[in-house]
Amino acid sequence: MVTDRIERHIVTLREVAEAAGVSISTVSRVLDERTPASRSATAQRVRAIADELGYRRNVFASGLRRGATATIGVLVPRLTDAVMALLFEAVERAARRDGYFAVVATCGDDPDEERRATETLLDRSVDGLILATARIDDALPASLRARGIPHVLALRTDGTSPSSLGDDEAGGYLAVRHLIDLGHREIGIVTGPWFTSSGQDRRAGAERAMREAGVEMREEWVTSTGYGVDDGIAAGHALLSGSERPTAVFAANDNLAIGVLSAAGNLGLVPGATLSVVGYNDIPLVSKLPVPLTSVHTPFDQIASAAMQLLTSADSAAPVILRALPTLIPRASTARPLR
């Protein structure tokens, strides 16, 4: 007896994605029956094309993809920033302890690049994402929540997605309280970008310390800028070049503080003598400067471990926000004012 054998072509996710003009990860999420069905035009088109091509979900393979690659995707603006490099190294250590492998992608400050990098990580079947991109108005976390993709925000929060960060309000308070306790009453503040939760919270902590001590916050001595050294140099010159200048400056990250120190030196001011400066994050470089920098220490390993716990917990989609307490590390860049 001759038996006719019919070879049946198995339609793949890639074929559906190519026909629909979307990414493989988008097709996977749209066709995943374990998540609420999206009613968007894209989702409806993907489902229609999948039906037309005769796609059938491979339940076994899908199970392997979800939670079986043991890979975590980490998204940062850039690795040339010491804070982002320290965070990724801390996440990699925490992930390795939990049996995961961490991979990193960079996106600069461009929302389009952020989305592209995210889709690239998802196309590589990462089990979840840790995002250290900084904008409060970033649409990506809301998109990930809507798509049911496990993710945690690190070093910042949008108030909704699971987040692990330092207590930036407490850190700003510690920095300025230290200056007040030394006797400073004329204090300048260089904050980070206003669109970051860290920039807002560190300024709020500084304001609280000054309010409690009855110290006036002079708006002309408060500058919101980027987080780079050049931003700190420009802010330092603006603060310190006038006939009236502060006797102390709180800079909301160490790069800014290094820039302020550079500007102060150009203007003939001596850190720890004629000017006191406090930074934030306590990156390794600052303890080795010619005048070691007083800084607020951010516990990166604690933040990274908490981020991994949130990411791998069963209720990681819940709006849980964990804040690790920072500590102030006094060094030679701060002293009692001379005038």
Question: pLDDT, tens digit, for every residue of 219-276?
Answer: 999 999 999 999 999 999 999 998 899 999 999 999 999 999 999 999 999 999 999 9
Q: What is the pLDDT of residues 138-159, one digit of tens each?
A: 889 999 988 889 999 999 999 9
Please tell me the predicted confidence (pLDDT) of residue 14.
77
**Cα 292 to Cα 311: distance, rounded to the nearest angstrom:** 37
52: left (phi over 0), alpha (psi -120 to 50) or beta: alpha
Please tell me the predicted confidence (pLDDT) of residue 10.
57
User: Lowest mean pLDDT: which of 15-19, 60-64, 168-172?
Assistant: 60-64
The residue with greater pLDDT, 56 or 116, is 116
**Does residue 326 have a pLDDT over 90?**
yes
Residues ≥6 apart with Cβ < 8 Å to 317: 145, 148, 150, 162
Average the pLDDT over 279-305 and give the result.
Answer: 97
Q: In order of start, what are the domains of the chain with their CATH numbers? A: 13-57 (no CATH), 71-166+300-324 (3.40.50.2300), 168-298 (3.40.50.2300)
Residue 152 bridge partners (DSSP): 130
Please tell me the predicted confidence (pLDDT) of residue 34.
53
Percent pLDDT > 70 in the chain is 90
The residue with greater pLDDT, 262 or 314, is 262
Please tell me the predicted confidence (pLDDT) of residue 262.
97
The residue with greater pLDDT, 67 or 309, is 309
Q: Is 125 exposed, middle or buried (0-12, 13-18, 19+ CB in 10 A)?
A: middle
- Please, which pLDDT band fits residue 136 given cuts at 50, 70 and 90? confident
Q: pTM of the predicted model, to two decimals? A: 0.78
H-run or E-run covering 295: strand 294-297
Q: Which spans in the chain are helix H?
A: 13-20, 24-31, 41-53, 59-68, 82-97, 111-123, 140-147, 168-181, 197-213, 229-240, 254-266, 300-312
Q: What is the pLDDT of residues 64-112, one digit of tens each?
A: 344 557 899 999 999 999 999 999 999 999 999 888 999 999 998 888 8
**Strand-by-strand arrangement of the 101-106 sheet:** 101-106, 71-76, 128-131, 151-154, 163-166, 321-324
Contact between residue 231 and residue 259 where contact means Cβ atoms under 8 Å apart: yes
**Cα 3 to Cα 329: distance, rounded to the nearest angstrom:** 81
The residue with greater pLDDT, 124 or 204, is 204
What is the three-class DSSP state of 188?
strand
Please tell me the predicted confidence (pLDDT) of residue 291.
97
Please tell me the predicted confidence (pLDDT) of residue 38.
79
- Other beta carbons less than 10 A from residue 219's beta carbon: 8
Please tell me the predicted confidence (pLDDT) of residue 68.
59
Please tell me the predicted confidence (pLDDT) of residue 63.
34
Please tell me the predicted confidence (pLDDT) of residue 66.
45
- From residue 116, alpha-carbon distances to 111, 137, 329 in Å are 9, 18, 39
Asked whether the CA dihedral 324, 330, 333, 334 is positive or negative, the reply is positive
Please tell me the predicted confidence (pLDDT) of residue 338.
84
What is the three-class DSSP state of 142?
helix
**Cα 282 to Cα 250: distance, rounded to the nearest angstrom:** 13
Average the pLDDT over 275-300 and give the result.
Answer: 98
Q: What is the pLDDT of residues 24-75, one digit of tens each?
A: 778 877 887 656 677 888 888 998 998 888 776 543 344 334 455 789 999 9
Average pLDDT along the chain? 88
